[in-house]
Amino acid sequence: MLNKLVENLPKLKLLKMAGFLNSSIGKKFLMSLSGLFLILFLAVHATLNSLLLVGPEAYNLGANFMGTNPFVRVMEPILALGFIIHILYALWIEIYNLNKRGVKRYAMAVRRHQSTWSSRNMIWLGLIILTFLVIHLANFFWKVKFGPMPEVTYNGQTMHDTYKLVVSLFQTNIWIDILYIIGAIALGLHLHHALWSAFQTLGWSNDRWRKIWGVIGDIYAVIITLIFGLIPWYFYFTHPLA
């Protein structure tokens, strides 16, 4: 009997893990963990984007490093897929919660009163961000990886002129700029709720740290929104094509 228990122990652990992930707490845990992972990715991506304001050489060298670094090349498609899965999983959870039976109207009204606008509209913000991500992948990631690209040489090293691709698109297409600004605002509103909520779900918060994470989340959300939102505006209005 003991031998059978030992043999079935891995199966029992898998079943227990599957049950946890299917529970409401498990779903929130998975969403929070993947969300924090993506928040780190946004910080790296925003840092690279800020180099656009420094100049062509700084941005192209940064983009070339990101494109040739083995670790980044492995993580890049995983992170892109992670964004999509994160949003689609959130959509599935929202639909599941809406279809749950036995939810009292009073409880829903109390929850609505106590929550913020961004927390109540996370699903719509997520769909806007998903649209923003698809546009970004189509106009930049796909072209850099698979399309013909102009090249530039710095100190004998030839690389893609990614700066020219990005800036020329922002300079010539006002609709792309508007969509990027809308996407950046949606992303900032999403992050306003996401950071402190993720730490709270993971158990890394209390009454004191709830306020601290809230302030940090707001600052982070504003920085991300400004970097992703102002760059298209900056190049369209201050650096028009001759």
pLDDT in tens, 65-106: 988 888 877 877 777 677 767 777 777 777 776 666 544 443
Evaluate if pTM is beyond 0.75.
no
Q: Can you read off the two tokens belonging to residue 217?
A: 């989340």
Q: Quickly name the fold that domain 24-238 has.
A: 3 helical TM bundles of succinate and fumarate reductases (1.20.1300)
Q: Can you read off the two tokens belonging to residue 195?
A: 């950071």
Q: What angle do CA 64, 70, 73 make, to 5 degrees?
A: 70
Per-residue CA distances from 180 to 118, 210, 237 (Å)? 19, 31, 15
Residues 6+ apart with CB under 8 A from 176: 135, 139, 169, 170, 232
Distance CA 194, CA 188 (A): 10
**Model confidence band, residue 241 (pLDDT cutoffs 50, 70, 90):** low
pLDDT in tens, 121-167: 667 777 788 788 888 888 888 888 888 889 999 999 999 999 999 99
DSSP 52: G
